[in-house]
Amino acid sequence: MSGPERFVTKQPHRGHPARASATIGRMRRTLAATAAVLATLVLAGCSDSGGDAAASTPSPKPSPSVAPVIPFMKSVEKARLASYETGIPPFQELEVFPPKWCKALDEGHSVEWMFDMSQGGLYPVGQEWGTEKGDAYQLVVLGVKAYCPKRSASVLEELRGLGAY
Protein backbone atom coordinates (compact mmCIF):
# COMPACT_ATOMS: atom_id res chain seq x y z
CA MET A 1 0.00 0.00 0.00
CA SER A 2 1.10 3.42 -0.69
CA GLY A 3 1.20 6.18 2.01
CA PRO A 4 -1.98 8.27 1.71
CA GLU A 5 -4.28 5.39 0.86
CA ARG A 6 -3.74 3.41 4.02
CA PHE A 7 -5.60 6.11 6.15
CA VAL A 8 -8.67 6.26 3.95
CA THR A 9 -11.70 4.36 5.23
CA LYS A 10 -15.33 4.30 4.29
CA GLN A 11 -16.43 5.37 7.78
CA PRO A 12 -16.85 9.03 8.75
CA HIS A 13 -14.05 10.68 10.65
CA ARG A 14 -14.62 10.41 14.40
CA GLY A 15 -11.62 12.26 15.68
CA HIS A 16 -9.63 11.44 18.76
CA PRO A 17 -11.77 10.21 21.73
CA ALA A 18 -9.94 12.36 24.29
CA ARG A 19 -10.41 15.51 22.18
CA ALA A 20 -14.11 14.73 21.62
CA SER A 21 -14.62 14.33 25.37
CA ALA A 22 -12.91 17.64 26.07
CA THR A 23 -15.01 19.37 23.41
CA ILE A 24 -18.25 17.96 24.84
CA GLY A 25 -17.21 19.00 28.35
CA ARG A 26 -16.44 22.52 27.12
CA MET A 27 -19.81 22.68 25.35
CA ARG A 28 -21.64 21.56 28.52
CA ARG A 29 -19.84 24.19 30.63
CA THR A 30 -20.64 26.89 28.08
CA LEU A 31 -24.27 25.81 27.94
CA ALA A 32 -24.50 25.73 31.74
CA ALA A 33 -22.91 29.17 32.04
CA THR A 34 -25.26 30.59 29.41
CA ALA A 35 -28.27 29.10 31.19
CA ALA A 36 -27.08 30.55 34.51
CA VAL A 37 -26.66 34.01 32.99
CA LEU A 38 -30.11 33.85 31.38
CA ALA A 39 -31.70 32.67 34.62
CA THR A 40 -30.03 35.51 36.51
CA LEU A 41 -31.29 38.04 33.97
CA VAL A 42 -34.81 36.65 34.12
CA LEU A 43 -34.84 36.62 37.93
CA ALA A 44 -33.31 40.09 38.14
CA GLY A 45 -36.02 41.53 35.93
CA CYS A 46 -34.22 43.26 33.13
CA SER A 47 -37.01 45.74 32.45
CA ASP A 48 -36.61 49.37 33.44
CA SER A 49 -39.97 50.42 34.83
CA GLY A 50 -38.99 53.13 37.28
CA GLY A 51 -35.95 54.92 35.93
CA ASP A 52 -32.76 55.42 37.93
CA ALA A 53 -34.53 55.47 41.31
CA ALA A 54 -35.91 51.99 40.78
CA ALA A 55 -32.54 50.72 39.62
CA SER A 56 -30.70 52.09 42.65
CA THR A 57 -33.25 50.91 45.24
CA PRO A 58 -33.36 47.15 45.66
CA SER A 59 -36.86 45.79 46.00
CA PRO A 60 -37.61 43.95 49.23
CA LYS A 61 -37.78 40.20 48.99
CA PRO A 62 -41.17 38.79 49.91
CA SER A 63 -41.16 36.69 53.02
CA PRO A 64 -42.62 33.24 52.74
CA SER A 65 -46.26 33.43 53.72
CA VAL A 66 -47.83 31.19 56.30
CA ALA A 67 -51.51 30.38 56.25
CA PRO A 68 -53.11 32.33 59.13
CA VAL A 69 -54.77 29.18 60.43
CA ILE A 70 -51.39 27.91 61.64
CA PRO A 71 -50.53 30.79 64.01
CA PHE A 72 -54.21 30.99 65.02
CA MET A 73 -54.44 27.34 66.05
CA LYS A 74 -51.04 27.50 67.77
CA SER A 75 -52.18 30.52 69.78
CA VAL A 76 -55.46 28.77 70.68
CA GLU A 77 -53.47 25.79 71.89
CA LYS A 78 -51.12 28.00 73.93
CA ALA A 79 -54.04 29.97 75.44
CA ARG A 80 -55.34 26.81 77.19
CA LEU A 81 -58.91 28.09 77.20
CA ALA A 82 -61.09 26.58 79.94
CA SER A 83 -63.78 25.81 77.36
CA TYR A 84 -61.39 23.47 75.59
CA GLU A 85 -59.98 21.58 78.59
CA THR A 86 -61.23 18.28 77.17
CA GLY A 87 -59.84 19.11 73.74
CA ILE A 88 -59.64 21.88 71.18
CA PRO A 89 -62.33 21.71 68.51
CA PRO A 90 -61.15 20.41 65.12
CA PHE A 91 -59.34 23.16 63.26
CA GLN A 92 -61.65 22.60 60.26
CA GLU A 93 -64.54 23.80 62.43
CA LEU A 94 -62.68 26.51 64.31
CA GLU A 95 -60.84 28.04 61.34
CA VAL A 96 -64.06 29.18 59.65
CA PHE A 97 -64.70 31.87 62.25
CA PRO A 98 -61.74 34.29 61.99
CA PRO A 99 -62.20 35.13 58.27
CA LYS A 100 -65.90 35.79 58.94
CA TRP A 101 -65.02 37.93 61.97
CA CYS A 102 -62.60 39.95 59.88
CA LYS A 103 -65.19 40.45 57.16
CA ALA A 104 -67.75 41.62 59.72
CA LEU A 105 -65.21 44.00 61.27
CA ASP A 106 -64.33 45.34 57.82
CA GLU A 107 -68.04 46.03 57.31
CA GLY A 108 -68.06 48.09 60.52
CA HIS A 109 -69.69 45.59 62.88
CA SER A 110 -68.75 45.12 66.53
CA VAL A 111 -67.77 41.98 68.40
CA GLU A 112 -71.09 42.14 70.24
CA TRP A 113 -72.93 42.24 66.90
CA MET A 114 -70.89 39.28 65.61
CA PHE A 115 -71.65 37.19 68.71
CA ASP A 116 -75.36 38.03 68.75
CA MET A 117 -77.04 34.92 67.34
CA SER A 118 -79.91 36.99 65.90
CA GLN A 119 -77.55 39.38 64.10
CA GLY A 120 -74.04 38.24 63.19
CA GLY A 121 -74.43 34.65 64.30
CA LEU A 122 -70.66 34.25 64.53
CA TYR A 123 -70.37 33.00 68.10
CA PRO A 124 -67.72 30.24 68.15
CA VAL A 125 -69.76 27.11 68.72
CA GLY A 126 -69.98 23.80 66.87
CA GLN A 127 -72.16 20.71 66.80
CA GLU A 128 -70.19 18.98 69.52
CA TRP A 129 -68.36 21.85 71.21
CA GLY A 130 -69.05 25.22 72.77
CA THR A 131 -67.13 28.21 74.06
CA GLU A 132 -67.70 30.18 77.25
CA LYS A 133 -68.20 33.91 76.63
CA GLY A 134 -64.87 34.94 78.22
CA ASP A 135 -63.03 32.35 76.14
CA ALA A 136 -64.97 33.45 73.05
CA TYR A 137 -63.69 36.99 73.52
CA GLN A 138 -60.14 35.70 73.86
CA LEU A 139 -60.67 33.51 70.80
CA VAL A 140 -61.81 36.46 68.69
CA VAL A 141 -58.70 38.41 69.77
CA LEU A 142 -56.48 35.49 68.72
CA GLY A 143 -58.34 35.11 65.42
CA VAL A 144 -58.14 38.80 64.59
CA LYS A 145 -54.42 38.89 65.40
CA ALA A 146 -53.80 36.00 62.99
CA TYR A 147 -56.22 36.90 60.18
CA CYS A 148 -56.64 40.69 60.21
CA PRO A 149 -54.12 42.23 62.60
CA LYS A 150 -55.01 45.78 61.52
CA ARG A 151 -58.30 45.28 63.41
CA SER A 152 -56.67 44.12 66.67
CA ALA A 153 -56.57 47.54 68.34
CA SER A 154 -60.26 48.26 67.73
CA VAL A 155 -61.31 44.80 68.96
CA LEU A 156 -59.22 45.15 72.12
CA GLU A 157 -60.63 48.64 72.70
CA GLU A 158 -64.20 47.36 72.35
CA LEU A 159 -63.63 44.40 74.66
CA ARG A 160 -61.94 46.60 77.27
CA GLY A 161 -64.90 48.97 77.05
CA LEU A 162 -67.20 46.04 77.81
CA GLY A 163 -64.98 45.00 80.69
CA ALA A 164 -64.52 41.69 78.94
CA TYR A 165 -60.80 41.73 78.32
pTM for the complete prediction?
0.61
Q: Which residue has the higher pLDDT, 67 or 41?
A: 67
Residue 50 DSSP symbol: S
Residue type, 90: P
Q: Calculate what percentage of the chain has a pLDDT beyond 90.
A: 52
Phi, psi of 38 (to 5 degrees): -65, -45
Q: Which residue has the higher pLDDT, 45 or 89?
A: 89
> Which among 9-23, 35-49, 76-90 has the top mean pLDDT?
76-90
Domain parsing of the chain, residue ranges = 16-56, 69-161
Q: Is 128 exposed, middle or buried (0-12, 13-18, 19+ CB in 10 A)?
A: exposed
